[in-house]
Structures are given as structure tokens and as C-alpha cells.
Structure 1
């Protein structure tokens, strides 16, 4: 799983060919920390066809707001630079996240 920041987000996510999964997390977000091992497991399982990235919104607040990430956790799928699916806050459960990944695992 690739860690991106405000300098590399555009290149690694918005300009990337194919499907990109982005884990938006924050330093003080307990649910984000709880989901971390689950997301790493999904990266191992589905990483052959989907690029997995994570960005710490505590260090990239403007970028997060620009991507309409206003609460955490947020898991999003991007294709051709566009956010096409996301799981937000209470919906960001392992089951919902895996279902979203499977929908774009092609």
C-alpha cells in the first residue's frame, strides 16, 4: 500500500491509469486505525488489479476538503482521476469496503 501526500496525490491517484483505492485517514481517528489492518489485507488480495493508496488528511487538509472528504474514515475508488465510489464514516465497515472494491475489481 502506497502512502501519498499532497505533493504526490495528483500523480499517483488523479493521473493514474486504472482503478485506485484511497484510504483517507487522520492521526486521531480511532476507526481509521482499526480499519488499517483490514485495508492492508485487501491490498494484498486485490492489489493485482487495483492500486491501493493512503493519505493522512491531518497533513493534507486542503486536499481532503478539495476531494469532499469532510469526515473520517473515508475509503474511495478513483478511475481516470474521478472519484466514482466511496464509503464514509459509519458505512466504512469491512463488509461495505470489500463490496465496493469487488465492484471495481476487473
Structure 2
């Protein structure tokens, strides 16, 4: 005879159980906590008195990194436009690459 355990899962975000997105701003929360708990603990198993607090990740595909990358791209794009406007040449021409003459092996 096989024995099985039933698990109960609950979703909570920043102390608000049962909510997945903040409906007023339509944003997904930064940290989504998923806790699983056995309906009936096996004999001899105790529940730890305190759960560890894990800070949200700051690397990888997180909101902070994506926002920083997009801001850097915007600054770089407008800096390139400013350089081209000041010198009257494209970036490739400024570094010595000739443009507009074709590849040299046309028919």
C-alpha cells in the first residue's frame, strides 16, 4: 500500500496574501513568495521557528537591470546624435571608415 502526502500552496506578495498584481498600477510585484505546507506533517518532523529572509535578486533579467540598460541605451543614442550634429559626419567616418562608396565588387 502506497502512502501519499497532500500539499497546500499559498501565494502571497509583500504581506498581502492572495494578490498577484497591484490592481491600481497593473504591475506585477517584485517578489512573489510561494509557500508549500503539508496538510499533515509526518511524525517526527518539526516546523522551523523562523523562515529565512532572502533579498530580491539584483542581477539577471530583473526590473532594475532592464531599466538601467534602457537608460544607458537612450543616453548613448542621444550622445551619438549630438556627435553627428556637432561634427557633421557619421560615427564611422569620424573613426576613419569610408562609407558610401560601395563594396568595390559590383557588377
TM-score by length of 1: 0.22
Query: More helix per residue: 1 or 2?
Result: 1
Query: More strand per residue: 1 or 2?
Result: 1
Which structure has more relative contact order (CA 8 Å, sep 6+)? It is 1
TM-score by length of 2: 0.21
Rg larger in structure? 2
